[in-house]
Each structure stands twice: as C-alpha cells, then as structure tokens.
C-alpha cells in the first residue's frame, strides 16, 4: 500500500477547523501537523481548498442482500456509499431470509468480506421467538440487535409483550428500534381505505403513520429501556413530539438511550408529496415543516445524537404503484453528505456540528474501535469534500443499483473529491478505485 501525504487541507475534527497536513501510512493516520516533511516513497495530494473530515459512519442502511438483490446488493450499495463519503455502515436484518439466526448473520458477514468496498457491520434481528439466538450475539463484533416495533418493509414485527420484556431485560448489548405503533397504523389505514378504497393518496402517508403512532411506540421503547437499564438506540425520529423523550444533559458516552435523525426527515416535508409522490414514501413518514424543524432543533441541542440515511432502495417500477402497492424507502448513501453540506451552506448547522453528528457521534454511540475521528494511530477513513464544486444529480451519475434518487435534478454546491477507506484511496474525482475491500467493524463493549 502506497503511503499518502495530504497537504494543506482544511481539517474539520472534534469541534475545530484548521489547516494542516495528514500523513497516512498503511491503513492508519500516522501524523497530523501544520507541516509534514517525509523521506522515501509517498504519494502527495494537494488538498488546498478542500475540507478533510473523518469518513461518515452510517448506522442504518438496507443494502438488500440476500434475497432482494434486484433492488441493491452489498457490492453496488457499498460503492455508492464510498462515492458519497461514507466509509463504514451498519446494515439491517430485514433481508430474505431475515437475519434471525447466528448462521444467517454470519453469512452476511462472509459475503461482505468478499465484495464490500466500505467497512461493515450487521445488526442481529430480533423476532417473536428467537431470544436464545439473539443472546448468543457477540457484542465485540456485531453492532447491535434490531427490533421492529412496528411493521415496515419485510415481516419482522415484534409485537409480543413477553418477548419485548425478555429482550429488553436480558440483552446486554445495544438494541436499535424502529418505532411505530402497529395498532394505530392499522386503524388509520382502515379509515382511509373506507374513504378512498384502494386509491388512497400518497399525501395520506404521514396521517396514516402519524405522530401518535410514532410517539406511542418510541415512548414504550424508552419506558422499557428505563425499566431494565437497557442500552437503547431509537432510529429515524420523525416528529417533534418524540424529541422530548430524550435527554441532552448527559454526555453521549454516558447515555443509555440515544436516537438518530435521517436525511429525509431533516430535508423534506409533507408539502412535497404533491411533487415527489411515492419517492417521498418512507417509514416513518416524512411529516410537517414543524416536525422537520423540531427534529433539527433536537439534533442541534443534543437530544438527538446521530445523522443517518436509512438507505432503503427499491426499483423504479416498484415505486410506480398506488399507495398500497408502493414500498416505503429510498436510496440515500451517495447523496447524504452533499445534502447535509447544503444545510451547512444555508446556515442550518455548522460544519463542525455536522461532522460531530455524522462521524464522531456514531463512533461514540456504538463504541467503534479507532474510527470516527482524525486521530493519529486511528484507521485512515477519510473524506475530502470540495465545498465549491456544483454538480447536478442525474441518472448518469447515480450509482445506486436501482438507478434513481429523490435528489435527481437537484444541484449540490459541494462534491466528494476523494474517499479513503483504511488508508486506501477508494474514490477519486468521480471514479471508484476497486482493490482492497473494507473491514469488519469491531466495538468496545
């Protein structure tokens, strides 16, 4: 592996922005200094005018392998992630078959070791009858256990009260939850079906999967976690009401209950269903402008800890059906960082806080070993961003296997110039550089 010296980059790291050089040796950051002199063979990269930050860590993706690879797979979606500056991801268990046994979970790790360009971890899935398998999960090399406390894409709803009590009381590792109250969603669905039949408008989605459905389930998960002292992480908060469940008086490393916000809930509102239609259909639903602002406010005041994508691709044809035929979710990993850079440019969040929420906080929250920060002797997962290089999302530059993006036609002012994964240049000036693959993430548990 060629050693690399990045010169004169604007480094954004741990709340500071400053210009410095960074030396990469093998897979590690060897030195960070205002000026570095080296002897011997080294590849020098002039990064003047570029922003250098840790690689983004995405704690919630659905890469669709195994069983749903017509939508995406570990090879295609990890490449899209690296092109978007995401160097590590944590993938969800609602594939086919669901990752509900240690054997099935290991098969996903084995496959990633063969094809993933980015670093990876996979959640163990919890069902209504696999508690023994869940408790066999090794917290040192698995990011967490995922519970669907509300049905979404797939069939992994955990609605048995005794099962929930058992998981929350016995599981020693982080539990991540999708929280929507199933009874509320079904009741609202039937109300709209009675009025519209099968022709329910897409704009009904945030009313069917409403604030109360989210809050009832999130508050239940929080209550269970407090009762049993569980390490709980609530995914994709979409409502202002839910944000008041979380505490910002405790340092992140000491929190027992944490949460995340996703790109779509920070960016879009229900006013956009009229133009975006099914492309805006996610679970939980994109809701009102007041909810978007409330989630953003909670992110900034540290009630919400992490920014993630919930990358969940479906084919274009699958997204063309009616309300009940169209699956929820969309691809985001390639465009998450450019989208957040727009929020930086618009003054909604500082670049230092963005890096904290996309890089540092996921590493702290999950206890990732030696990643998420620009520190000497840490893994050299880095991304160089050009903050003044406008480009427009088009079918020609979309890298998702599904071939579409809700951002198609959007012009971003910032672009990903280079991405390093474990010290190796994996993406540069629009080109993916395939060679060495990503590594399995490990955790301090």
**CA gap 281, 284 in Å, rounded:** 9
124-125 and 145-149 beta bridge pairing:
parallel
The count of residues in the chain is 445
List, for residues 159-169, the tens digit of each pLDDT value. 788 889 999 99
Name the residue with tokens 């054997």: 103
From the list 10, 59, 25, 44, the residue with the least C-alpha distance to 384 is: 10
Chain-centroid distance of CA 85 in Å reads 12
On average, the pLDDT of the chain sits at: 96
Chain-centroid distance of CA 126 in Å reads 19
From the list 126, 121, 150, the residue with the least C-alpha distance to 136 is: 126
The continuous run of DSSP H or E covering 18 comes out as strand 16-25
Q: Given this model, what pLDDT does residue 1 score?
A: 64
Would you identify the CATH topology of the domain 4-52+380-391+411-432? Urease, subunit C; domain 1 (2.30.40)
**CA gap 430, 415 in Å, rounded:** 9
Would you identify the CATH topology of the domain 56-366? TIM Barrel (3.20.20)
**Residue 155 confidence (pLDDT) above 60:** no
List, for residues 259-318, the tens digit of each pLDDT value. 999 999 999 999 999 999 999 999 999 999 999 999 999 999 999 999 999 999 999 999
**CA gap 354, 373 in Å, rounded:** 13
Residues 417/46, Cβ–Cβ less than 8 Å: no
Q: Which band of pLDDT confidence, cut at 50, 70 and 90, is reported for residue 435?
A: confident
The 3-state DSSP class for residue 344 equals: helix
Alpha-carbon torsion angle 305, 307, 310, 315, nearest 10:
170
Name the residue with tokens 């059906």: 321
Q: Domain locations in the chain?
A: 4-52+380-391+411-432, 56-366
List, for residues 106-150, the tens digit of each pLDDT value. 999 999 999 999 999 999 999 989 999 999 999 999 999 999 986
């Amino acid at each position: 592996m060629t050693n690399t010296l990045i010169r004169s980059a604007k480094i954004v790291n741990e709340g500071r922005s400053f210009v410095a050089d960074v030396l990469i040796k093998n897979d590690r950051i060897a030195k960070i200094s205002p000026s570095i002199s080296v002897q011997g063979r080294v590849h020098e990269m002039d990064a003047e005018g570029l922003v250098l930050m840790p690689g983004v860590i995405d704690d919630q993706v659905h890469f669709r392998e195994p069983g749903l690879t017509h939508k995406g797979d570990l090879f295609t979606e990890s490449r899209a992630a690296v092109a978007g500056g995401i160097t590590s991801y944590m993938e969800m268990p609602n594939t086919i078959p669901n990752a509900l046994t240690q054997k099935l979970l290991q098969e996903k790790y084995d496959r990633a070791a063969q094809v993933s360009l980015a670093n990876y971890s996979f959640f163990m899935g919890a069902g209504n009858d696999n508690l023994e398998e869940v408790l066999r999960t090794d917290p040192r090399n698995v990011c967490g256990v995922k519970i669907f406390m509300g049905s979404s894409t797939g069939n992994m709803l955990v609605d048995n009260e005794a099962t929930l009590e058992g998981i929350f009381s016995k599981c020693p590792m982080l539990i991540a939850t999708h929280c929507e109250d199933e009874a509320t969603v079904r009741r609202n669905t039937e109300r709209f079906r009675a009025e519209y039949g099968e022709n329910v408008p897409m704009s009904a989605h945030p009313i069917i999967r409403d604030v109360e459905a989210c809050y009832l389930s999130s508050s239940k998960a929080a209550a269970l976690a407090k009762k049993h002292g569980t390490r709980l992480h609530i995914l994709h908060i979409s409502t202002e009401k839910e944000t008041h469940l979380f505490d910002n008086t405790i340092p992140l490393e000491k929190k027992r209950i944490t949460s995340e916000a996703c790109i779509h809930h920070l960016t879009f509102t229900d006013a956009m269903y009229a133009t975006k239609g099914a492309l805006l259909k996610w679970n939980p639903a994109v809701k009102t402008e007041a909810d978007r602002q409330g989630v953003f406010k909670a992110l900034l005041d540290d009630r919400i800890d992490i920014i993630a994508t919930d990358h969940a691709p479906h084919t274009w044809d699958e997204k063309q059906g009616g309300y009940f035929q169209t699956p929820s979710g969309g691809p985001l990993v390639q465009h998450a960082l450019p989208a957040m850079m727009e929020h930086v440019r618009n003054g909604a969040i500082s670049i230092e806080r963005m890096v904290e929420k996309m890089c540092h906080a996921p590493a702290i929250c999950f206890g990732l070993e030696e990643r998420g920060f620009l520190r000497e002797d840490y893994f050299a997962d880095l991304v160089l961003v050009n903050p003044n290089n406008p480009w427009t999302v088009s079918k020609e530059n979309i890298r998702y296997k599904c071939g579409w993006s809700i951002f198609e036609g959007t012009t971003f002012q910032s672009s990903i110039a280079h991405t390093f994964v474990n010290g190796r240049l994996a993406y540069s000036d629009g080109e993916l550089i395939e060679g060495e693959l990503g590594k399995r993430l490990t955790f301090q548990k």
